[in-house]
């Protein structure tokens, strides 16, 4: 299992995030606007973010999707040296970098296209662009015609069946991996890109970094066509994007449950072998807070996104419930310049909820990669479980404006809602609890999130580390010796391996539990 199968992604649209001018004036002036992301690193870490996905950062004419130089940071954001510094600081803080690869099309000021404008049929680059011919003028007044992406002639479609074009793009990818150690690429307009190109770039990138992440923007179609062992690792989950908010607006949990079961259900989901990229908003669609009819549903939608199968992502600013919708066919409101001090005056309760979701997601491997099984569903209530090995986690949602008495059978005892540390009543294999209106619960048998030691409670020399070879006493009295700290091959969770000093038996326990508490006392104390 790779890092991205367990990741939380934070999506930034850099030109908007930084308040860059709409157009690149082509001057020699460089503005180091993207450096502001360095001030956001503590914010990202508090949310347990594993990787930042940056929208277009390459030199472009306007919005970033009209590239003119694949090896240069847009001067409205900074330069290559400043970006290298940013990448180094993110990596030092355990945060990976995913860049937007706009390889389907380029801007009209792309040098090879300009060469054709200047030289006509004598240009060596006539074969670089899709369906370029001199049989008639383009809508932009060129003495030749070419194919624009989706009818936009300021976006000139590349001919990815031309080996020279592929070599050119591969060289650019190699540059960003070798010079900046980037960790993945999100392919814009992936449904328009030649499959052979994806096969070649996968082989190349995985050869450079075996855990390099390849994710494609796919809106419609069978995701298996693009996400498979020969091409991409993941694609954008637009099918569930719509269901996540509309199931709440329409008070119809059957809608999103149908999509999740179709995709990843335990009884034969068609995408069970793909960790899809889940989101509730992005740079192309209205902000969630502008889409939901009832803002009391915001925490429920995010809870569902974090706990359903797939990789959860947050679009910058939406963790505070900011609004933004398209107006007059413009995406500007979706891509604002934001400052943390301003956002912190917005929906702080939602932000705290998302912070805790990140901690819970990190603590329970079953939430990240466990199988999905719906247990109970009504129009306004949903209960499902995620199971991985011996770990079971229940997720309960009540979108109604009234209390709901939840009851379900379980093989576990001592269940607790990890959001509020509220215990459930469990008798004879049946759990019950009264859910508040507009509430979400993540129900576990071992609340390692609320019982984990706070920083101020932990001796400085101890924190959350364990000493290999040292002896520890369990709170029930038995003594053990630490053999090693291992990593689970499927979930990447750290496990403490320890041997009983009484009978020599060997045990394994998640590290987060080993250093945590059982009630008010520590599970293990170093001797």
List, for residues 70-95, the tens digit of each pLDDT value.
999 999 999 999 999 999 999 999 99
- Average pLDDT for 261-266: 92
Q: Do 321 and 289 form a contact (C-beta atoms < 8 A)?
A: yes
Six token digits for residue 520: 């008010």
Q: Do 47 and 11 form a contact (C-beta atoms < 8 A)?
A: no
Rounded Cα distance, 102 and 157, in Å: 11
- HSE, side-chain direction, 13 A CA sphere, residue 282: 19
Residue 420: per-residue pLDDT: 94
Provide the domain limits for residue 470: 455-526
Q: 76 and 35 in one domain?
A: yes
The verdict on residue 520 lying in a domain is: yes
Residue 466: per-residue pLDDT: 80
Check which CATH number belongs to the domain holding 434 and give it.
2.60.40.1180
Rounded Cα distance, 177 and 40, in Å: 23
- More confident site: 205 or 507: 205
Tens of pLDDT along 346-378? 889 999 999 999 999 999 999 999 999 999 999
The verdict on residue 498 lying in a domain is: yes
Angle, CA 200 vertex, CA 71 and CA 54 arms, to 5°: 40
- What are the residues whose beta carbons fall under 8 Å from the beta carbon of 450, sequence distance 6 or more? 418, 421
The verdict on residue 268 lying in a domain is: no
Residue 514: per-residue pLDDT: 86
Six token digits for residue 254: 């059957």
Rounded Cα distance, 512 and 468, in Å: 16
Residue 464: per-residue pLDDT: 53
The verdict on residue 354 lying in a domain is: no
Give the helix ranges, DSSP H, for 322-398: 340-343, 348-363, 365-369
Rounded Cα distance, 10 and 14, in Å: 12
Strands annotated E in 119-159: 148-149, 152-157
3-state SS of 274-326?
CCCECCCCCCCCCCHHHHCCCHHHHHHHHHHHHHCCCECEEECCHHHCCCCCC
CA distances from 70 to 80, 110, 142, 170, 418 (A): 11, 10, 24, 10, 46
- Average pLDDT for 8-23: 98
Hey, which residues does 398 pair with through a beta bridge?
A: 381, 439
Six token digits for residue 167: 């070599």
Model pTM score: 0.87
Six token digits for residue 261: 């079961």
Q: 75 and 12 in one domain?
A: yes
What 3-state class would DSSP assign to 39? helix
Rounded Cα distance, 97 and 82, in Å: 15
The verdict on residue 328 lying in a domain is: no
Residue 493: per-residue pLDDT: 67
Residue 489: per-residue pLDDT: 61
* Residue at which a domain ends, from 386, 415, 444: 444
Q: 19 and 47 in one domain?
A: yes
Q: 54 and 183 in one domain?
A: yes
Q: 89 and 21 in one domain?
A: yes
Is residue 486's pLDDT more than 90? no
Is residue 462's pLDDT more than 60? no
Angle, CA 100 vertex, CA 97 and CA 101 arms, to 5°: 120
Q: Do 96 and 180 form a contact (C-beta atoms < 8 A)?
A: no
Q: 90 and 188 in one domain?
A: yes
Q: 83 and 6 in one domain?
A: yes
Residue 460: per-residue pLDDT: 38
% of the chain exceeding 70 in pLDDT:
95
- What are the residues whose beta carbons fall under 8 Å from the beta carbon of 442, sequence distance 6 or more? 303, 307, 360, 364, 367, 393, 394, 395, 396, 417, 418, 419
Query: What is the side-by-side order of every strand in the sheet holding 148-149?
Result: 105-107, 152-157, 148-149
Rounded Cα distance, 414 and 518, in Å: 12
Helices (H) and strands (E) in the chain, counts: 14, 28
Q: 479 and 424 in one domain?
A: no
The verdict on residue 339 lying in a domain is: no
Residue 188: per-residue pLDDT: 98
Pairing state of beta strands 152-157 and 105-107?
antiparallel
Q: Do 383 and 405 form a contact (C-beta atoms < 8 A)?
A: no
Rounded Cα distance, 370 and 16, in Å: 36
C-alpha 149, offset from chain centre: 27
What 3-state class would DSSP assign to 4? helix
Surface-to-core class of residue 377, CB atoms within 10 Å of its CB (0-12 exposed, 13-18 middle, 19+ buried): middle
Six token digits for residue 248: 């709440």
Q: 433 and 397 in one domain?
A: yes
Check which CATH number belongs to the domain holding 477 and give it.
2.30.30.320
DSSP code per residue over 22-37: SS----S----GGGGG
What 3-state class would DSSP assign to 436? coil
Q: 8 and 80 in one domain?
A: yes
Residue 509: per-residue pLDDT: 86
Residue 300: per-residue pLDDT: 98
Rounded Cα distance, 205 and 233, in Å: 12
Q: 372 and 488 in one domain?
A: no
The verdict on residue 272 lying in a domain is: no
Check which CATH number belongs to the domain holding 94 and give it.
3.20.20.80
Surface-to-core class of residue 456, CB atoms within 10 Å of its CB (0-12 exposed, 13-18 middle, 19+ buried): exposed
* Residue at which a domain ends, from 383, 418, 444: 444
The verdict on residue 94 lying in a domain is: yes
* Residue at which a domain ends, from 416, 444, 472: 444
Rounded Cα distance, 189 and 253, in Å: 30
- Number of structural domains found in the chain: 3
Is residue 444's pLDDT more than 50? yes
Residue 461: per-residue pLDDT: 37
Q: 506 and 467 in one domain?
A: yes
């Amino acid at each position: 299992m790779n890092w991205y199968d367990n990741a939380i992604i934070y999506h930034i649209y850099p030109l908007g995030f930084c308040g860059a001018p709409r157009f690149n004036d082509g001057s020699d002036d460089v503005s180091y606007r993207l450096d502001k992301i360095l001030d956001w690193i503590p914010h990202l870490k508090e949310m347990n973010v594993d990787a930042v996905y940056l929208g277009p950062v390459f030199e472009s004419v306007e919005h970033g999707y009209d590239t003119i130089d694949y090896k240069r940071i847009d001067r409205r954001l900074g330069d290559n040296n400043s970006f290298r510094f940013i990448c180094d600081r993110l990596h030092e803080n355990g945060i990976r970098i995913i860049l937007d690869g706009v390889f389907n099309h380029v801007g009209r000021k792309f040098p090879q296209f300009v060469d054709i404008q200047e030289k006509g049929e004598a240009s060596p680059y006539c074969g670089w662009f899709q369906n370029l011919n001199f049989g008639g003028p383009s809508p932009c007044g060129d003495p030749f015609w070419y194919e624009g992406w989706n009818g936009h002639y300021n976006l000139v479609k590349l001919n990815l069946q031309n080996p020279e074009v592929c070599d050119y793009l591969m060289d650019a990818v190699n540059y960003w991996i070798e010079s900046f150690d980037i960790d993945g690429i999100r392919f814009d307009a992936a449904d328009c890109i030649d499959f052979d190109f994806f096969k070649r770039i996968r082989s190349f990138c995985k050869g450079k970094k075996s855990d390099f992440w390849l994710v494609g923007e796919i809106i419609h179609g069978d995701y298996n066509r693009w996400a498979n062992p020969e091409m991409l690792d993941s694609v954008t989950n637009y099918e569930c994007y719509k269901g996540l908010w509309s199931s709440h607006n329409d008070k119809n949990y059957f809608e999103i449950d149908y999509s999740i079961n179709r995709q990843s259900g335990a009884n034969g989901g068609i995408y069970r072998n793909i960790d899809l990229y889940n989101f509730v908003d992005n740079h192309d669609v209205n902000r969630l807070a502008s889409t939901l009819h009832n803002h009391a549903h915001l925490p429920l939608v995010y809870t569902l996104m974090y706990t359903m199968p797939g990789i959860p992502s947050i679009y910058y600013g939406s963790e505070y419930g900011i609004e933004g919708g398209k107006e007059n066919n413009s995406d500007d409101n979706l891509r604002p310049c934001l400052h943390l001090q301003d956002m912190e005056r917005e929906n702080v309760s939602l932000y705290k909820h998302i912070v805790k979701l990140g901690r819970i997601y990190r603590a329970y491997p079953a939430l990240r990669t466990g199988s999905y099984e719906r247990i109970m569903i009504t129009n306004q209530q949903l209960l499902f479980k995620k199971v991985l090995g011996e770990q079971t986690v229940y997720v309960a949602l009540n979108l109604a404006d009234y209390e709901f008495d939840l009851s379900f059978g379980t093989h576990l005892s001592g269940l607790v809602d990890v959001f509020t540390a509220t215990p459930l009543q469990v008798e004879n294999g049946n759990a019950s609890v009264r859910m508040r209106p507009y509430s979400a619960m993540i129900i576990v048998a071992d609340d390692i999130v609320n019982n984990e030691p706070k920083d101020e409670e932990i001796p400085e020399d101890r924190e959350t580390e364990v000493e290999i070879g040292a002896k520890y006493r369990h709170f029930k009295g038995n003594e053990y010796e630490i053999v090693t700290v291992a990593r689970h091959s499927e979930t990447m969770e750290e496990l403490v391996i320890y041997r009983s000093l009484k009978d020599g038996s060997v045990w394994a326990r998640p590290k987060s539990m080993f250093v945590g508490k059982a009630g008010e006392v520590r599970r293990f104390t170093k001797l």
